[in-house]
A = this chain, B = another copy of it.
Amino acid sequence: MINQNRFKEKVTIDDVARLAGVSKSTVSFVLNNRPSISASTRDRVREVIRKLNYQPNQIARSLSSRQTRSIGLVVKQIDNPYFTKIMRGVFEYFSGCGYTVLLGSSELQPDREKSSIEALLRQRVDGLILSPLQGPDADMSHLSLILQNQVPLVLLEKVANVAANVVDIRNEGAAFEAVSYLIGLGHRRIAYYSGPDYSMHNRERLTGYRRAMMEHGLPFPASGVRQAGVYLEDGYAAAKTQFSMAGERPTAVFCFNDLVAIGVMNALMELGIRIPEDVSVIGFDDIEFCGSVRVPLSSIRVPAYEMGKAAADLLMQQIGKTDFVLRQTVELEATLMPRASCARADGRPAGGSQKKKHTGPAGPRTAGGMT
């Protein structure tokens, strides 16, 4: 005897078929809206489905159809506001088209990135969105793993020598813009508080910084770049060290991201160094809190939510299409948002539109352009 267990078993397609007096194929056809079913049987089957509150088993579906209707999203840090926005963009897109999002995160550790990817591939996701860790010595073996698995892939960071779909921003250009802005304010000694080595974003921002210094004929001594990190504490520690030392200090600091920048500001405040009169600070990402922080923080606006949507869209274009695999790069603009944390090198306020408004009335939280 089947289905006579102690527990009420889940309703299956067979139950529906039996009660509707049709074959399970017919039920399957109804479920998938195939045309070759008469209106009368269709309605009858639907009625039974409703009555039994039947929910198709997606696992069984996945196994036989070879499509799981799920995708994997692997970020670097789950609780970083930048990735959080991306996650929301990706989630909203896919939940809108009946797909499930499986969460992965490397938490900045390469081995965890690998195991996250492997776990998602075992779950046979239909596609993967990945923000890859990559050092100069990068072991990109798991990337080829994905590619050889025929799983559609979209990266959230360019990877050298890998032909894949990418959604990214113009890091170098944005960094160039930020540093040029500082130079335009009269700053000469500008430090870059760098992110992790294994971040391509960091390397691109560093390049933009270097290029801006070079093109304006400014020196960038080794001390110009300080290894910070990605956390608030990292920026705090780096600034505390540099600005406690004797000697020539920078008059402006360009940071890998906003968290580092905020940490820097905290450290400077503690040391009695005024922002922006003594030191100007610029962050990156333009997270929600930039306008609310001690001194409103100048930052590079990164359309993270839109990046998530764009990556999802690009991925979706590939899912199901077996033969043609795109190799597309979508680059979104990232532009400077000047705020009160920057001033002229002599301490006078920066010109331009210094708006007093910190937070406008609740407008769209996700506006932003896309190229």
Contacts and interface: CB of A to CB of B under 8 A. Distances in A.
Interface in A95-135: 95, 98, 100-105, 107, 112, 115-116, 118-124
Nearest to A60: B63
Interface string A50-93: 00000111111011000010100100001101001101100110
Interface string A357-371: 111111101000000
Interface residues of A, number: 74
A327 interface: no
Contacts of A60: 63
Contacts of A57: 63, 122, 124
B124 A59 contact: yes
A33 interface: no
Given A81-B79, A105-B91, A119-B95, A59 B55 contact: no
A50 B233 CA distance: 42
Contacts of A231: 362, 365
Contact of A7 (B58, B102, B322): B322
Contacts of A142: none
Given A101-B102, A266-B292, A123 B87 contact: no
A119 B62 CA distance: 14
A69 to B, nearest CB: 8
Interface of A: 7-8, 10, 55-60, 62-63, 68, 70, 73, 78-79, 81, 84-85, 87-88, 91-92, 95, 98, 100-105, 107, 112, 115-116, 118-124, 148-150, 231-234, 236-237, 262-263, 265-267, 269-270, 288-289, 291-294, 322, 356-363, 365
Given A95-B116, A101-B102, 15 more contacts: A55-B121, A57-B124, A59-B62, A60-B63, A81-B84, A95-B112, A98-B119, A100-B119, A100-B123, A101-B103, A231-B362, A232-B288, A233-B359, A234-B362, A289-B293
19 contacts: A7-B322, A73-B103, A78-B91, A79-B88, A81-B81, A95-B105, A95-B119, A98-B119, A100-B102, A100-B103, A101-B102, A233-B362, A233-B365, A237-B362, A266-B292, A266-B358, A269-B358, A289-B292, A292-B293
